[in-house]
Structure 1
Amino acid sequence: MATPTAHIASTSTTTSALPSCTTAVPGQYGQVPVTACNSLYNAIPEFIPAVVVSALFGLLTLTHIIEAFVFKKGYAWVLIMAAAWETIAFIFHVLGAHDQQNVAYIIVWQVLFLLAPLWVNAFVYMTFARMVHFYVPDRKVAFVRASHVSKLFVWADIVSFLVQAAGGLMVTPSASAATQRLGMHIYEGGIGLQEVFILCFLGLMIAFHICLKGEGRAQGMLSEEDALNANVGEDRRGTDERKGALRLLYALYAVLAFITMRIIFRLVEFTGGNDPSKNPVPYHEYYFYALDAFPMLTALLILAVVHPGRFIRGPNSSLREATREEKKVKKAEKKALKEQKRVEGNALHNMESRSLMHTKIDKVLGMCAERRSNLTEAVCVRL
């Protein structure tokens, strides 16, 4: 996702990322010029905007908690984590605005703001996998099973999470300028990797979209006689489900678009360098509010209005239960195969035992015949 806001601290409490700096005497709320050595922020944090945004994220967090219970979607905890992390991040930004020399506030704010959107990305992956499981008869898209879609891209999101976390933790105010630059490069690689995964995922979404459109055209091409004979209730239900699927799919497209907007913004911000005269983006809060906080607020709002629980419900709506059922079936199949092999092995063993027994009997009979023959010869000699 995106990185911390404007705090790829160009300055440090000890070493500045700028060519030169001086230590300033903190004023009200610990404020110092952003060019000072003891400045923790690239842009002076504003109190009121941070309060408003934290309240909005908090409201969305509460909304998603309620919807998770109403629609009985356990996996929505992932989305709740995203909203909660954003809320907590901006609460610490509020605190930091009135205590700008507190290193703990900026670190917590920076790390949570950096990583929270990855939860949204994971939720999109998980929701799409459930759409494939629910709407597609064979539960596959582009030859990939729904359960595999979820596992593959969630693990990809975790990899991106770890890379971005490593980079974000290096870009702390107490780090040296060299460490901060390295952290920025690692973070850039992490969000670039994330966008690659999104583009690959987009290919599966388009394949699913084409599948839905194809089903709609197929139903629209029914002859008049077929239409009269068709079950009107089922046809109408199928049409409503398809419309719901398309609506949810468009919502996921929009969320991914906002995530991509945020990634592009961060790439532009970081690749522009730390010189305010050449790259003003990190040194003005309105950039990250407009191109970072706003996209994630909108994404969370979209997922609140077009919640998956409104459309994916009823039989086959739980991917977890289906996955458990698949595991049970596979386990039963393995057990049956093992039992079959055991029975076949016992049968083969019995056959071998019978064969061995017949061989021994034949051998004993042969020995008896040989002894009988020898005895006959001895009697004849005596006579």
Structure 2
Amino acid sequence: MAQCKTITDPNTTWPPFCPNIAASYLYAILFGITAIAHLVQTFWTRKCIMQPANDMMYTLWFVLMLIAPIFTNAYVYMVMGRMVYNFTAKGSVGGIKAWRFGLIFVLLDVLAFLVQAGGAVIASGTGKSMNTIMMGLHIYMGGIGFQQLCILAFLALAARFHLNLRAQPVSAERSKAFRLLYVEYAVLLLITIRIIFRLAEYSNGLDSSIPEHEAYQYVLDSTPMLTALVLFNAVHPGFTMRGAESNLPARKERKAMKKAGERPTGRAGEYVMMGSKQDFTMQGRESEVETGLMPPSPPTGAYRYDVNNYSRSASPAEFRG
């Protein structure tokens, strides 16, 4: 029988008995269950949530419902930035580096968010004049119109990335990238459907009959947004771009590379993608350069070349040797 470390360790401050691990787990689980039960009961018995005439509750519902999809939109932009880094040789598309790609579009998305939120807050609540409500709705519509304009600009760059991806050799990694890219397209289409619905809803101001029918909200707003989130569950970016090496290089790391004479590039420029059936010969490398998969010339001291492999394992001394 194994000795109890709690008792035999001379430095222990534990009481003179051996703790029962099973009992510890059991009571931790039981306390957790009752804590969850109390949390559910707290919300279940709160009377304020059953007051549809509560002005504050209506304002929160109205604002959150209008601006919620903006966060899904930002997620799409951030994922594409990482895709550009992981699946292009230059680490850029349309002249925009991967680490700036997500930043630029997310900042634009934040601007759209602020405009939409401001308009929603102005239009919500009771006791406001018709002019104030209409001004708020017009501001909100301008915000979602700007959001759609950003989506169209994003799709133009995504199309260039799509062509770059098609030019690369067939591989398992390339197939995964295409699946995720198609999900991005689908999510943006769903967001666009929702934007068109909201524009149609408020185009006639408060005279529109759309808000009077709850089914429209679920079919043309809630369902598209729920579908978008489920699509990212099914094809999660974390399964396509695995490992710490798939993360965008930090600013400090990029500065260090430039100081060492290396130019930060995409991960597709570091190796032939896993699963590719193409043999990496000198002739093959020339074709890779033409398609954009490999950089025209490797940074000095950064890569090792041989007939079967092309990796970032060589030091400058080894490379010269």
- State TM-score, norm by structure 2: 0.64
Shift of 1:322: 4.0
Match of 1:197 among 129, 147, 150: 150
Aligned to 2:133: 180
Q: How does 1:257-296 map to 2 (within 5 A)?
A: 257-275=189-207, 279-296=208-225
Aligned to 2:228: 299
Q: Judging changes above 3 Å, is the alpha-carbon distance between structure 1 residues 95 and 180 closer, same or farther for their aligned structure 2 residues?
A: farther
Q: Which has the higher helix share?
A: 1
Q: Which runs of 5+ in 2 are unaligned?
A: 1-42, 262-321
Q: Judging changes above 3 Å, is the alpha-carbon distance between structure 1 residues 186 and 331 closer, same or farther for their aligned structure 2 residues?
A: farther
Cα deviation code 1:276-302 (max 9, x no counterpart): xxx321111111111011111000111
Aligned to 1:309: 238
SS at match of 2:205: coil
Aligned to 1:120: 72
The structure whose Rg is larger is 1
Q: Give the length in aligned residue pairs.
A: 217
Matches of 2:144 and 2:222 in 1, distance apart? 16
Are the equivalent residues in 2 in contact too, given 1:96–1:106 (CA < 8 A)? no
Residue 208 (str. 1) matches residue 136 (str. 2): no
Q: Judging changes above 3 Å, is the alpha-carbon distance between structure 1 residues 99 and 244 closer, same or farther for their aligned structure 2 residues?
A: same
Are the equivalent residues in 1 in contact too, given 2:105–2:150 (CA < 8 A)? yes
The letter of the residue matching 1:152 is I
The letter of the residue matching 1:110 is F
Q: Judging changes above 3 Å, is the alpha-carbon distance between structure 1 residues 308 and 193 closer, same or farther for their aligned structure 2 residues?
A: same
Identity fraction in percent: 44
Are the equivalent residues in 2 in contact too, given 1:168–1:183 (CA < 8 A)? yes
The letter of the residue matching 1:291 is L
Root-mean-square deviation (Å): 2.2
Q: Which runs of 5+ in 1 are unaligned?
A: 1-90, 220-238, 334-383
Q: How does 1:19-98 map to 2 (within 5 A)?
A: 98=50
Aligned to 1:252: 184
The letter of the residue matching 1:198 is I
SS at match of 1:147: helix
Match of 2:52 among 100, 115, 119: 100
- State TM-score, norm by structure 1: 0.54
Matches of 2:205 and 2:135 in 1, distance apart? 12
Matches of 2:108 and 2:180 in 1, distance apart? 23
The letter of the residue matching 1:270 is Y
SS at match of 2:107: helix
Q: Judging changes above 3 Å, is the alpha-carbon distance between structure 1 residues 252 and 200 closer, same or farther for their aligned structure 2 residues?
A: same
SS at match of 1:138: coil
Residue 143 (str. 1) matches residue 72 (str. 2): no
SS at match of 1:316: helix
Match of 1:159 among 111, 119, 136: 111
Q: 4+ residue runs of structure 1 moved beyond 6 angstroms?
A: 94-97
Matches of 1:95 and 1:295 in 2, distance apart? 31
Q: Judging changes above 3 Å, is the alpha-carbon distance between structure 1 residues 273 and 115 closer, same or farther for their aligned structure 2 residues?
A: closer
Matches of 1:266 and 1:96 in 2, distance apart? 29
Shift of 1:306: 0.7
